[in-house]
Amino acid sequence: MPVDVLVPPLSQIMDTVVLVEWLKAPGEKVLKGEPLYVIETDKANLEVEAPASGILQEVLAQPGSEVAVKTKIGVILSPEETLSAAPPSEVPGPSSQPVPGQLTGPAGEPLPPERLQRPFASPRARRLAQQEGVDLAQIHPTGPQGMIVERDVRAYVEAQKAGHPKATPVARRLAEAAGLDLGTIAPAHPGARITRADVEAALAQAAGAEPGPGEALPGGVPLSSVRRTIARRLLESWRNAPQVTLIREVDATALVEVRDRILGGLPPEEIRPSYTDFLLSIVARCLRQHPQLNAWTDGERLDLRDEVWIGMAVDTERGLVVPVIRDADRKGLRQLAAERQELVRRALEGTLNVEDVSGATFTITNLGPLGIDAFTPIVSPPQVAILGLGRIRPGPAVYRGQLCIRHLLSLGLTFDHRAVDGAPAARFLADVAQLIEEPHRVWLYA
């Protein structure tokens, strides 16, 4: 029987996404589990897998359109249904035979008009073209059935390097929307690719004077759908949830010493855990002891989660992305470090899938690498809390009755006051602080 292609629900509060592109065209074969289409959320561009094997019969939403979650956007028929639905014909007519030079499908049949209008490319080639900001229509295919494959994109990029500026896909789209020539923009660092920030700086310089009250930004461009979604969700969170932030400074000297000793004993080829990995491990264990902070709420009910799935805010060119480490409380430091590094890499490349960014029960955001001492993060609903980490910095402190220089770290815990009171939140933060100051005690939470 036909299988409906539905937009997956990604969270309790996200009700729409943007359909970026179909990776298959009507009439093409699909396999269950292979990427079928790409959606854009406030977190990332995500490939969604086909729910069944068969033939993509039709698509009901076009790229660029905003679609509601759980909406039917396509139909997949099994090969048997496709054959039985075809009208019987003893002798194929001329229209069913491919003409010389015509592209054909896997079974030798002529490709449908929809397929011919869209560049025929492998998923890897499409991903690389998107990363390099390349128009697939400009590339000569050398793959089977006239398919553009990854080597074609790489060859095209190499051929264009001499005469065209290097730019990220987002920077190219932004410049194109503003009618700005990329050749007039200098990257922040010689030899680097032109980024979104470079284009925005060029636009600001071209705009000249600041606008008056109520005036539109001269030379401004519309916010991307991702940025608009982030703005909408943060505004809703700020309006609907009374949020309180607790700030606590802790002495991280012992944690710094423990990390130095561990790294000193690791061979060069081993993964080297960062401070974020140590703090992930500490927070995950504390959340087990404070289930009120490891929860979801809609303002009416509090859903205490059994699993500890920690989201990590990652700054990417497209905006903030929050991949999720699942069961963080059950994993050792080495495994946490490996998973975090892999998720960050895929976040920066834009290759995360739906599962990678769904289901977080708590979030950690770290602005320490950017030189920030302390800040007040905003809760991401339906979660009830988020922890902001500042930089570990040397500073004066009283230690064992003496004024000396210690390694200090500021923690900022923001929580939804509808679900959690100040005292439970403070006790959770106190436990996190104690394990940072006395990291040997983490074994008591194992």
CATH number at residue 182: 4.10.320
For residue 233, tell me if it sits in a domain. Answer: no
d(CA 365, CA 313): 5
For residue 216, tell me if it sits in a domain. Answer: no
Tell me what pLDDT residue 298 has: 86
Closest to 276 in 3D by CA, of 228, 313, 225? 313
Q: Are residues 182 and 247 in the same domain?
A: no
Q: Are residues 190 and 311 in the same domain?
A: no
For residue 262, tell me if it sits in a domain. Answer: yes
For residue 259, which phi and psi values (nearest 5 degrees)?
-65, -40
Predicted TM-score (pTM) of the model is 0.62
Residue 192's alpha-carbon distances to 181, 186, 198, 233, in angstroms, are: 17, 9, 11, 33
d(CA 409, CA 276): 12
Q: In which domain, by residue range, is 182 found? A: 169-205
Q: Are residues 419 and 299 in the same domain?
A: yes
d(CA 42, CA 227): 7
CB-based contacts of 206, cutoff 8 Å, min separation 6: 180, 219
Q: Are residues 177 and 263 in the same domain?
A: no
Residue 149's Cβ-count burial label (10 Å; 0-12, 13-18, 19+) is: middle
Strand 314-316 and strand 385-389: the pairing is unpaired
Count the domains in the chain.
Answer: 3
Q: Are 260 and 323 in contact (CB under 8 A)?
A: no
Tell me what pLDDT residue 146 has: 67
Tell me what pLDDT residue 141 has: 76
E-state strands within 317-384: 319-321, 324-325, 362-366
Q: Are 318 and 349 in contact (CB under 8 A)?
A: no
Tell me what pLDDT residue 67 has: 86
Q: Please identify, among 205, 223, 256, the residue that sits at the C-terminal boundary of a domain.
A: 205
Q: Are residues 247 and 313 in the same domain?
A: yes
What one-character DSSP code corresponds to residue 282? H
CB-based contacts of 111, cutoff 8 Å, min separation 6: 25, 27, 102, 103, 104, 105, 120
For residue 336, tell me if it sits in a domain. Answer: yes
- In whole angstroms, what separates CA 209 from the centre of its chain? 35
Q: Are residues 182 and 269 in the same domain?
A: no
Q: Are residues 258 and 187 in the same domain?
A: no
Tell me what pLDDT residue 373 has: 95
Check which CATH number belongs to the domain holding 34 and give it: 2.40.50.100
Tell me what pLDDT residue 370 has: 92
What one-character DSSP code corresponds to residue 244? E
Closest to 197 in 3D by CA, of 207, 186, 208? 186
- Low-confidence spans in the chain with pLDDT less than 50: 83, 86-108, 111, 113-116, 209, 213-214
Residue 106's alpha-carbon distances to 32, 78, 264, 342, in angstroms, are: 17, 16, 55, 35
Q: Are residues 423 and 301 in the same domain?
A: yes
For residue 425, tell me if it sits in a domain. Answer: yes
Tell me what pLDDT residue 304 has: 95
Q: Are residues 186 and 298 in the same domain?
A: no
d(CA 341, CA 228): 28
d(CA 359, CA 363): 11
Tell me what pLDDT residue 219 has: 54
For residue 134, tell me if it sits in a domain. Answer: no
Tell me what pLDDT residue 171 has: 72
d(CA 82, CA 433): 62
For residue 189, tell me if it sits in a domain. Answer: yes
Tell me what pLDDT residue 19 has: 86
Q: Are residues 388 and 438 in the same domain?
A: yes
